[in-house]
């Protein structure tokens, strides 16, 4: 039969009995905001949204475990992820006879930071000493810090006549730290035209609600692109005879053109909605 040596020479139940493992996942979600309104026409809202996750992954192998090396082993892994989003919106709504206007201006800033540390130690006098600080040998260790940020400015204006004909135009610009400085910002406009057929005189005796809208827009994305994809990376550590040093971590050449000609999607949509009110 096929398989690995771990399955052939070690009983799975014995391995489970000689291993202690658990994960602690603590998450904090918060939203703080303030709103100012003036005469039911103007409003301003500012908010701060937080999503902070702390993950602790602990594994202890006693001396009899295949991975315990005969002296016991602990793998300690900590990771913290902070996602902070700040948003500001200003809105204005008004009517001028048969015409109505709705406008919005906004700004947002988001930053995601990930920090991790991992320790792998062995050599414990007894299973009662189950913290990595007691290890007689620190076999491996690593740590990392990464972050990326995005800033956006956007606006929208909607004009309506008798709630029959609706014109909406939006414009936003996004800047992402994942792209090189010269190609960091992108512009994404869109426009839509709607017709509320149910409001027409020839539909006044009908109980059917019928709307038609056509729209055109451009969107982009940053998914699948690393936080530092456009530049060469360096790392530090004990690389030279236990002496501190710096080495090139990523052998690729710097790519300042990342973000230039970024994937952009143009969309033309039209749809009709029909139904009873």
The pLDDT tens digits for 228-241 are 777 776 666 656 66
- Rounded to whole angstroms, the Cα distance separating 272 from 253 reads 50
Please, what is the Cα angle at 199 between 194 and 201, to 5 degrees?
A: 130
Residue 207: per-residue pLDDT: 73
Selected residue with higher pLDDT from 53 and 214: 53
Report for 105-109, 185-189, 214-218: range of highest mean pLDDT: 105-109
8 Å CB contact between 191 and 139: no
Residue 276: per-residue pLDDT: 47
- Rounded to whole angstroms, the Cα distance separating 73 from 62 reads 6
pTM over 0.85: no
Residue 242: per-residue pLDDT: 64
Place of tokens 């809105």: 91
Report for 101-105, 130-134, 270-274: range of highest mean pLDDT: 101-105
Is 229 in a helix, a strand, or coil? Answer: coil
52: how many CB neighbours lie within 10 A of its CB?
A: 15
What is the DSSP code (8-state) at residue 254?
A: P
pLDDT band at 248 (very low <50, low <70, confident <90, very high): low
Residue 42: per-residue pLDDT: 95
Which residues is 96 bridged to in the sheet? 99
Residue 30: per-residue pLDDT: 95
Task: Tokens for 261, please give them.
Answer: 């000609």
Residue 212: per-residue pLDDT: 84
* Best CA proximity match to 115, nearest among 161, 147, 92: 147
- Rounded to whole angstroms, the Cα distance separating 217 from 264 reads 10
Specify the range with the lowest mean pLDDT, choosing from 52-56, 109-113, 122-126.
122-126
Tell me which long-range contacts 100-104 makes (C-beta under 8 A, separation of at least 24): 100/159, 100/160, 100/163, 101/157, 101/158, 101/159, 101/160, 102/156, 102/157, 102/158, 102/160, 103/155, 103/156, 103/157, 103/158, 104/155, 104/156, 104/157
Q: What is the residue-wise DSSP string for 59-103?
A: EEE-TTSTTTTTT-EEEEEEEEEEEEEEEEEEEEEEEETTEEEEE
pLDDT band at 251 (very low <50, low <70, confident <90, very high): low
pLDDT band at 80 (very low <50, low <70, confident <90, very high): very high
What's the average model confidence in pLDDT over 229-258? Answer: 63
Q: What is the residue-wise DSSP string for 119-170?
A: EEEE--SSTT--SGGG-SEEEEEEEEEEEEEEEEEEEEEEEEETTTEEEEEE
- Is the pLDDT score of 110 beyond 90? yes
Cα distances (angstroms) measured from residue 165 to each of 14, 103, 159, 198: 73, 16, 8, 11
What's the average model confidence in pLDDT over 84-101? Answer: 94
- Rounded to whole angstroms, the Cα distance separating 162 from 83 reads 43
Place of tokens 């690593």: 142
Residue 16: per-residue pLDDT: 76
pLDDT band at 51 (very low <50, low <70, confident <90, very high): very high
What is the DSSP code (8-state) at residue 10?
A: S
Residue 141: per-residue pLDDT: 85
Specify the range with the lowest mean pLDDT, choosing from 127-136, 186-195, 235-244.
235-244
Residue 101: per-residue pLDDT: 94
- Is the pLDDT score of 214 beyond 70? yes
- Is the pLDDT score of 11 beyond 80? no
């Amino acid at each position: 039969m096929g398989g690995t040596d771990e399955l052939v020479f070690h009983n799975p139940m014995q391995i489970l009995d000689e291993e202690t493992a658990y994960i602690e996942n603590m998450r904090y979600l918060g939203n703080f905001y303030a709103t100012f309104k003036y005469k039911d026409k103007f409003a301003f809202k500012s908010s701060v949204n937080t999503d902070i996750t702390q993950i602790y992954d602990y594994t202890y192998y006693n001396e009899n475990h295949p991975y315990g090396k005969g002296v016991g082993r602990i793998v300690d892994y900590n990771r913290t992820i902070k996602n902070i989003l700040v948003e500001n919106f200003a809105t204005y709504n008004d009517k001028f006879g048969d015409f109505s206007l709705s406008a919005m201006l906004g700004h947002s800033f988001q930053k995601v930071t990930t920090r991790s540390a991992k320790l792998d130690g062995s050599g414990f006098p007894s299973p009662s000493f189950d913290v990595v600080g007691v290890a007689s040998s620190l076999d491996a260790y690593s740590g990392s810090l990464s972050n990326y940020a995005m800033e956006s400015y956007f606006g929208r204006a909607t004009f309506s006549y008798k709630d029959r004909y609706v014109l909406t135009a939006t414009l936003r610009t996004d800047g992402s730290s994942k792209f090189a400085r010269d190609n960091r910002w992108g512009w994404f406009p869109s426009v839509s035209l709607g017709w509320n057929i149910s409001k027409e005189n020839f539909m006044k005796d009908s109980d059917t609600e019928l709307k038609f809208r056509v729209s055109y827009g451009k969107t982009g994305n940053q998914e699948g692109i690393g936080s530092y994809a456009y530049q060469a990376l360096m790392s530090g550590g004990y690389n030279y005879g236990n002496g501190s040093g710096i080495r090139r971590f990523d052998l690729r050449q710097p790519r300042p053109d990342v973000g230039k000609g970024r994937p952009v999607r143009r969309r033309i949509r039209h749809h009709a909605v029909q139904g009873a009110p």
